[in-house]
Amino acid sequence: MIGSILLTSMALAAHPVPTFGAPLLGGCPVSKLWGTQPPAEMPAEQDRHVIHVQGKQLYWNSLLVSVERAVAEVGPDMAQGSDMLVIDASTAKCAVVKELAAAIEGPAACAPERCFVSSEPVTARKKP
């Protein structure tokens, strides 16, 4: 009895529990308009938008927003061409990330060098 418990616990310990921190293209696919590795050197704080997805909720500039509001608020700024958009999906539900990415990529004129989905936490944009 004790031997079987020990064997079972050893078997479970050998297989780590999967986490959401896996690369997003493998675990939560988004379109090819999104990069998954933000640049090592992030641009000045005023040149990027960060949308934090926590579970099923979206936060932009510390405000709880809907997908529709995120698209309406961030899309026009991004479409002008100079900003960077990062979706912080480190604590997100995959379905929410996919919905947000699909809704905002057109209005934001996304390209893999400007729009990113990060599976690691990203600091929020500071107000100028």
Confidence tier at 18 by pLDDT (50, 70, 90):
very low
What's the pLDDT score for residue 9?
A: 40
List the structure tokens of 124.
Answer: 């929020």
User: Is residue 110 predicted with pLDDT exceeding 90?
Assistant: yes
Q: What is the pTM of this model?
A: 0.74
When pLDDT is cut at 50, 70 and 90, the band that residue 25 belongs to is very low
Measured CA distances, 19 to 23, 30, 54 (Å): 10, 18, 15
The Cα 18–Cα 112 span in angstroms is 26
Compute the mean pLDDT over every residue in the chain, rounded to the nearest whole number: 77
Is residue 106 included in any domain, yes or no? yes
**1 occurs within a structural domain:** no
Paired tokens of 114: 């400007």
34: containing domain: 18-118
Number of domains the chain contains: 1
CB 101 within 8 A of CB 34: yes
pLDDT in tens, 73-89: 999 988 887 688 999 99
In terms of DSSP bridges, do strands 63-65 and 57-60 run parallel, antiparallel, or are they unpaired? Answer: antiparallel
DSSP 63: E
Phi, psi torsion values for 57, nearest 5 degrees: -105, 145
pLDDT reading at 22 higher than 80: no
For 103-109, what is the mean pLDDT?
95
Domain membership flag for residue 10: no
Residue 60 lies in a domain: yes
User: Alpha carbon of 60 to those of 57, 106, 112: distances in Å?
Assistant: 10, 18, 21
Q: Using CA atoms, how far apart are residues 85 and 98, in angstroms rounded to an integer?
A: 15
Looking at the chain, the whole-number percentage of residues with pLDDT higher than 90 is: 45
Residue with tokens 């600091």, as numbered in its chain: 123
Is residue 2 a part of any domain in this protein?
no
Check pLDDT > 90 for residue 31. yes
In a domain, 4, yes or no: no
